[in-house]
Amino acid sequence: MTDRPAVLDVTLGQLLDETVAKWPHRDAVIYVDRDFRLSWREFGDLVDRFARGLMALGVQRGEKVAVWSTNVPYWVALQFATAKIGAVLLTVNTSYKTHELEYLLRQSECENIFVMDGFYDTDYVLTLYELVPELKTLPRGELDCERFPHLRRVAFLGPQKHRGMFSVPEILALGKTVSDDDYAARQASLHPDDVVNMQYTSGTTGFPKGVMLTHKSIGNNGFWIGENQGFTERDRLCLPVPLFHCFGCVLGVLACVTHGTAMIILEKFDPVLIMQSVERERCTALYGVPTMFIAVLQHDLFERFDFSSLRTGIMAGSPCPVAVMRQVMEKMYMEDITICYGLTESSPVMTQTRVDDDITRRTASVGRAMPAVEVMIKDPETDRECPRGTQGEVCCRGYLVMKGYYNNPEATAQAIDKDGWLHSGDLGVMDQDGYVSITGRLKDMIIRGGENIYPREIEEFLYHMEGVKDVQVAGVPSRRYGEEVGAFVVLKEGASLTPEDVQDHCRGKIAFHKIPRYVAFVDAYPMTASGKIQKYKLREMAAGLWPDA
């Protein structure tokens, strides 16, 4: 562990420069499925060329630079190139369609956007031409768009050329026109409290809002995330989670950059490529949401790969069944795996388990507060601190709290109270030692005839039922009780169950009012691109399945 101060006033560019100076020749960025491998010195040089190129294009301090792309090789370089010139990286969900992108560009008043060719059934380039037809007629860099009056520049995050768009090689070449003095002056003008990253909340509980995060908030958070896993320059992280989400660009990239840890990046989630990457690069850490780990564990080829190099990593994004956690620790050798909890608005991690926590701590809780961070369980009715062991809303305060929602002071005031506490909307309990267990969301809570029911408890119980692969619980509207419990079950291959089987399994083991009144068998759950299950869509589905409840 380090003797570094709990909170350091540094910019992301300074953090990268420090790592390049310490470990110039160690691996920085690797893709095993293509010929792409950079040392820290090579990566740092690429970032500087990219940053100068953005300055040559005319990108000013404070301008937003959106990136709509999967984890392609230039993504991480753009993350630091924007940071070094005081621009704000605006990450775009890869699942967005035309309507969602239009909303984001308008609401954020975005000046620049980088895109790739496309993802799944969405052609990003054609989408931009549809939204910004002026791209095909106006000179590059002189965009004047009626629909998006702030938008000035569009670029392609790769070498390919498209009408109206700059390519990365062109931008890198333009960087030669920026002098050393001008580049140094731009960096010297930056402050750790400047906004450097904007992410739009996934929308699992409402309309997307632009979360403004600073150099200090995500730089320090990334450092302590890596520190709590014991990261050093000898570690190698397999990173298959989306970079547009905090899980990728903070828990992943910034935890690595602050420790000199190599990043073995996957362009998109692929269980086989994860296993190949871990084996070939002798990865010591692996990240993922629970569904990713389940996909690896249950893959037909799992037994053919060597996971013995692994020791740590992070499972986050949604609650993990205890049984899955134990398999990851035993079958994948990740005995030091950690659990993180937080939200985008908290940069994102407010609690994390530690590698020396016992098995109970690392399976039944989401850990304790990060260094220099206050975490409190508050009574949602009185806003007072709850006694230890009593359920309430999880709140945090400290360097990690967002600056606010972009152009949305009302929503900011609702999220951060007058005393600086960020309200998560999640329900939890803190024990006598400060460890937090999440019991559900305030909006996920099911109220049946006046009885408060917490979905997480029922999900954990049903997960251990024979034949059940995964389960999610949501409220079903009921004229009689207000809400009833609905269970959405994914069965294991070859398993056959009826709703009555699920209900019979519960009888006598959990309280009557917690037994699912309704059971549906599904193949998958509606999810955000970052792996979060959208409970509100399950509730919508329930209303359609059982309209006469």
pLDDT tens per residue across span 86-125: 999 999 988 888 888 999 999 999 999 999 999 988 899 9
Residue 243 within any structural domain of the chain: yes
Residue range 166-194, pLDDT digits in tens: 999 999 999 999 999 999 999 999 999 99
Do 462 and 369 reside in the same domain of the chain? no
Q: Are residues 466 and 427 in the same domain?
A: no
Task: Give yes or no for residue 371 having a pLDDT over 60.
Answer: yes
- Please count the other Cβ atoms lying within 10 Å of the Cβ belonging to residue 95: 16
State whether residue 107 is helix, strand or coil.
helix
Tokens of 488: 């959405």
Domain end among 130, 156, 190: 190
For residues 452-475, give the mean pLDDT: 89
As a whole number, mean pLDDT of residues 8-13 equals 95
Same domain, yes or no: 28 and 175: yes
* Judgement on whether residues 415 and 322 belong to the same structural domain of the protein: yes
Mean pLDDT of the chain: 93
Are residues 20 and 132 both part of a single domain? yes
Q: Which helix (H) or strand (E) holds 518?
A: strand 518-521
Q: Is the pLDDT of residue 32 over 70?
A: yes
Whether the predicted pLDDT of 213 surpasses 60: yes
Shared domain for 430 and 293, answered yes or no, is yes
What is the CATH classification number for the domain harbouring 472? 3.30.300.30
Confidence of residue 415 (pLDDT cuts 50, 70, 90): very high
Number of domains making up the chain: 3
Could you tell me if 255 and 181 lie in one domain? Answer: no
Q: Which residue has the higher pLDDT, 47 or 478?
A: 47
Assign 204 to helix, strand or coil: coil
Q: Which residues pair with 422 in a beta bridge?
A: 396, 416
Q: Which domain holds residue 324?
A: 210-441
Q: Decide which of 398, 417, 441 is a domain's last residue.
A: 441
- What CATH number does the domain containing 324 carry? 3.40.50.12780
The answer to whether residue 231 is domain-embedded is yes
pLDDT of 202 reads: 57
Residue 364 within any structural domain of the chain:
yes
Among candidates 312, 321, 311, 368, which has minimal Cα distance to 340? 368
Domain edge (last residue) among 441, 468, 493 = 441
- Confidence (pLDDT) at 278: 98
| 135 & 36 share domain | yes
Q: What is the pLDDT of residues 68-90, one digit of tens each?
A: 999 999 999 999 999 999 999 99
Q: Which residue has the tokens 């260094």?
A: 371
Burial of 152 (0-12, 13-18, 19+ CB in 10 A): buried
pLDDT band, very low/low/confident/very high, at 204 (cuts 50, 70, 90): very low
Q: Which of the residue ranges 2-16, 201-215, 298-312, 359-373 has the most confident prediction, judged by mean pLDDT?
A: 298-312
Average pLDDT estimate for 199-228: 87
All residues at 6 or more sequence positions from 116 whose CB lies less than 8 Å from its CB, including other chains: 68, 69, 70, 72, 124, 156, 157, 158
Residue 7 is assigned to a structural domain of this protein: no
d(CA 465, CA 467): 6
For residue 536, name the pLDDT band (cuts at 50, 70, 90): confident
- 244-296, pLDDT tens digit by residue? 999 999 999 999 999 999 999 999 999 999 999 999 999 999 999 888 999 99
CB contact at 8 A, 522 and 488: yes
Q: Do residue 142 and residue 227 come from a single domain?
A: no
Query: Is 199 contained in some domain?
Result: no
Task: Give percent of the chain with pLDDT exceeding 90.
Answer: 77
Cα 492 to Cα 500: distance, rounded to the nearest angstrom: 17
In order of 109, 363, 365, 523, the CA distances from 469 in angstroms are: 44, 18, 22, 10
Q: Is the pLDDT of residue 548 over 80?
A: no
Residue 202 within a domain: no
- Residues 464, 512, single domain; the answer is yes
* pLDDT value at 50 more than 90: yes
CATH code, domain carrying 86:
3.40.50.980
Q: Please state, in angstroms and rounded to a whole number, the distance separating the CA atoms of residues 189 and 201.
A: 29
**Residue 448 lies inside a defined structural domain of this protein:** no
Average pLDDT over residues 209-233: 97
Residue 445 has pLDDT above 80, yes or no: no
Same domain, 274 and 183: no
Give, as one character, the DSSP assignment of residue 347.
Answer: S
Does 493 reside within a domain? yes
The pLDDT of 16-42, averaged and rounded, is 97
Residue 449 pLDDT greater than 50, yes or no: yes
* pLDDT at 439 (0 to 100): 85
Take residue 449 and report the two structure tokens written for it: 């005839």
Local confidence band at 1 (pLDDT 50, 70, 90 cut-offs): low
27 and 68 share a domain?
Answer: yes
pLDDT tier, 547 (very low <50, low <70, confident <90, very high otherwise):
confident
Check: CB of residue 195 under 8 Å from CB of residue 212. Answer: yes
